[in-house]
């Protein structure tokens, strides 16, 4: 009997990626268009952030904050490129996970539901975190602007990101609204990319752990004798284990670039902040 629980391990990432036009297994034209438009918008915002850091004469706190936002965007772009490049491998990996997913009887016997429950708990926590942080991050500048308008009778034109603008943003309400919406869209786009990629990684790792536990339980249940039946059962588990190891290698190939990119970007932020602080102290 087919076990539909395998789909619950991937439904979350697939649903979130569809919001930005990225799909693993289908290639609808309008989804491609949505993905291209979204990535172009993110790229424009990314370039504007780089120009802000290079051309603007600002204080340390503002420059550090700008670099932090830039790091966030760079990480998401790196993850997206890695996923697009490894799309075909990811599709094959998902199909293999579906094929070898334990039956309902085996899942109940070995109490494997704990892995799905653990994943769904991680998914709810990370999704809630990203939603609350991104919504607050995009709304907070408007709240500050309205607060300052009430107190000082002056609108300060704050935006979610620190960007270089080709024209003056102050006293230009049309351009201000346009760029605010553009930055909000880009912020949600990068949040979804990071969220979906991280959920794919957690899902894959927990499924690998589940399969390794199944192999362990099956081997322990084999009676230690020299009969042909015991030998066949052991060979079956060896083949199963080799299949799981091949899946682990594919997961490693898919997600290593994005994890490495995140590590390098975070290291850059730490080094940059330390360098700026040493400059201030000196």
In terms of Cα–Cα distance, which of 172, 138, 178, 139 is closest to 155?
172
pLDDT of the residue at 60: 66
- Higher per-residue pLDDT: 224 or 256: 256
Whether 265 shows a pLDDT value over 90: the answer reads no
| Mean of the per-residue pLDDT values of the chain | 88
Predicted confidence (pLDDT) per residue in 139-164, tens digit: 999 999 999 999 988 888 999 998 88
Predicted confidence (pLDDT) per residue in 4-40, tens digit: 788 999 999 999 999 999 988 776 788 889 999 999 9
Average pLDDT over residues 85-102: 91
User: How far is it, in rounded angstroms, from Cα 56 to Cα 64?
Assistant: 12
The Cα-based distances of 209 to 101, 116, 119, 216, 218 in angstroms read 12, 11, 12, 11, 14
Average pLDDT over residues 102-128: 93
Whether 110 shows a pLDDT value over 70: the answer reads yes
Whether 226 shows a pLDDT value over 90: the answer reads no
Q: Is 169 exposed, middle or buried (0-12, 13-18, 19+ CB in 10 A)?
A: middle
pLDDT of the residue at 275: 67
pLDDT of the residue at 145: 92
pLDDT of the residue at 72: 82
Give the number of other CB atoms < 10 A from CB of residue 136: 10
Whether 187 shows a pLDDT value over 80: the answer reads yes
In terms of Cα–Cα distance, which of 216, 213, 209 is closest to 251?
209
Distance of CA 132 to the CA centre of its chain: 16
């Amino acid at each position: 009997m087919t076990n539909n629980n395998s789909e619950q391990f991937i439904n979350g990432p697939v649903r979130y990626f569809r919001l930005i036009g990225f799909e693993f297994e289908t290639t609808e034209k309008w989804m491609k268009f949505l993905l291209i438009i979204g990535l172009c918008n993110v790229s424009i915002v990314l370039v504007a952030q780089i120009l802000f850091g290079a051309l603007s004469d600002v204080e340390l706190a503002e420059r550090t904050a700008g670099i932090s936002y830039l790091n966030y965007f760079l990480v998401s772009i790196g993850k997206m490129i890695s996923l697009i490049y490894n799309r075909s491998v990811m599709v094959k990996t998902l199909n293999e996970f579906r094929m070898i997913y334990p039956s309902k009887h085996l899942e109940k016997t070995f109490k494997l539901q704990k892995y799905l429950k653990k994943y769904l708990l991680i998914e709810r926590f990370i999704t809630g975190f990203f939603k609350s942080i991104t919504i607050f991050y995009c709304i907070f500048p408007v709240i500050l602007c309205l607060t300052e308008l009430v107190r000082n009778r002056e609108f300060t034109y704050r935006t979610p990101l620190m960007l270089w603008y080709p024209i003056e943003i102050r006293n230009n309400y049309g351009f201000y609204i346009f760029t605010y919406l553009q930055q909000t869209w880009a912020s949600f786009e990068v949040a979804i990319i990071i969220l979906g990629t991280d959920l794919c990684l957690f899902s894959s790792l927990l499924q690998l752990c589940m399969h390794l536990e199944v192999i362990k339980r099956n081997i322990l249940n084999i009676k230690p004798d020299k009969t042909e039946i015991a030998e066949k059962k052991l060979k079956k588990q060896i083949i199963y284990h080799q299949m799981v190891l091949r899946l682990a290698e594919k997961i490693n190939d898919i997600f290593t670039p994005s994890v490495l990119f995140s590590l390098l970007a975070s290291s850059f932020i730490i080094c940059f902040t330390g360098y700026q602080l040493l400059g201030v102290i000196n």
